[in-house]
């Protein structure tokens, strides 16, 4: 092989053709290890002339193989996502458990507080009294009048409110008047007639002490109100107190009702 002919792989090239291939290769790769384009050409041809070496075609025509990128491991991403999910679930579980525990502790504390309050509260007072309706006559003729008085007996206990509901037959009797001017309870709360049912509620200032007589009312035969009826026609005279709505309220600051005997 002469200098004019160069063997590249299994093919034989003339020097100009080989130079073009080298120039194309070196142009693509620019500089290799700090050696210029012309210097690379000279070094290669010098080695070819002196040692008569064979230049492989893939050294000049092929681009250098790019560095292979390491494949990204998908299982690592899956593992990371799984760990994150586990952490989130664990955190939610812990928060839920903590919230539930706090709720239970708050509930127990409220129960304990209510129990303590119940223990601190004094036992409700049990006092007995009496309310009665007194008529001046039980038999009357048509157009005659019947007078009735509502009297209270507090049995040595102090009261602040009294209510009396009086029932009568509106076909036989007509309510003429409700007189509460002489009542032992100084304040009128309600006074009305519902055509067969009279409602009277009166009060007096107290001091939340059911055992004194300075405030409120304590006594027997205490007048709540006086009633006057007119007889419309002959028949049974039926005037009575409603036991469910007639009440005496103690002066204890808690509105305790007395246990009453209704007459």
Domain containing residue 186: CATH number: 2.60.40.680
Same domain, 56 and 134: no
Query: What percent of the chain is predicted at pLDDT more than 90?
Result: 45
Calculate mean pLDDT across residues 121-131: 85
Same domain, 148 and 250: yes
* Residue 76 belongs to a domain: no
Closest of 129, 150, 161 to residue 225, by C-alpha: 150
Q: Which helix (H) or strand (E) holds 10?
A: none
Q: How confident is the model at residue 156 (pLDDT cuts 50, 70, 90)?
A: very high
In the chain, the number of structural domains is 2
Q: Does pLDDT of 32 surpass 80?
A: no
Render 27-76 in DSSP notation, one character per residue: HHH--BTTB-HHHHHHHHHHHHHHH-PPBPHHHHHSPPPPPPPPPP-HHH
* Residue 22 belongs to a domain: yes
Residue 217's pLDDT is what?
A: 95
* Residue 83 belongs to a domain: no
Q: How confident is the model at residue 57 (pLDDT cuts 50, 70, 90)?
A: very low
In this prediction the pTM is 0.56
* Residue 68 belongs to a domain: no
Mention every residue, 6+ apart, whose C-beta is less than 8 A from residue 249: 159, 160, 161, 162, 255, 256, 257, 258
Give the count of beta carbons closer than 10 Å to the beta carbon of residue 22: 20
* Residue 189 belongs to a domain: yes
* Residue 172 belongs to a domain: yes
Q: Does pLDDT of 115 surpass 50?
A: yes
Q: Per the structure block, which two tokens stand in for 111?
A: 């129960």
pLDDT averaged over every residue in the chain: 78
Residue 20's domain spans which residues? 5-61
* Residue 231 belongs to a domain: yes
Same domain, 159 and 257: yes
* Residue 201 belongs to a domain: yes
Residue 203's pLDDT is what?
A: 96
Calculate mean pLDDT across residues 18-44: 49
Calculate mean pLDDT across residues 105-121: 68
Same domain, 132 and 221: yes
């Amino acid at each position: 092989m002469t200098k004019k002919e160069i063997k590249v792989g299994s093919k034989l090239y003339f020097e100009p053709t080989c130079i073009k291939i080298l120039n194309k290769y070196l142009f693509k790769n620019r500089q290799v290890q700090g050696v210029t384009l012309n210097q690379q050409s000279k070094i290669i041809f010098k080695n070819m002339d002196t040692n008569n070496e064979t230049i492989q075609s893939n050294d000049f025509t092929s681009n250098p193989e790019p560095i292979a990128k390491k494949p990204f491991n998908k299982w690592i991403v899956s593992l990371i996502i799984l760990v994150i999910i586990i952490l989130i679930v664990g955190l939610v579980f812990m928060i839920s458990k903590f919230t539930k525990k706090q709720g239970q502790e708050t509930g127990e504390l409220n129960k304990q507080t209510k129990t303590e309050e119940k223990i601190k509260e004094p036992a409700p007072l049990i006092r007995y009294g009496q309310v009665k309706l007194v008529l001046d006559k039980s038999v009357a003729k048509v157009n005659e009048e019947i007078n009735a008085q509502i009297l209270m007996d507090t049995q040595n206990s102090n009261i602040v409110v009294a209510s009396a509901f009086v029932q009568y037959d509106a076909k036989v009797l007509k309510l003429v008047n409700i007189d509460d001017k002489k009542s032992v309870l100084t304040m009128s709360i309600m006074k009305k007639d519902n055509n067969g049912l009279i409602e009277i509620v009166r009060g007096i200032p107290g001091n939340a002490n059911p055992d004194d007589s300075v405030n409120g009312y304590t006594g027997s035969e205490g007048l709540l109100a006086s009633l006057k009826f007119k007889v419309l026609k002959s028949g049974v005279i039926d005037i009575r107190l409603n036991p469910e709505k007639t009440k005496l309220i103690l002066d204890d600051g808690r509105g305790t009702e007395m246990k009453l005997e209704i007459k």
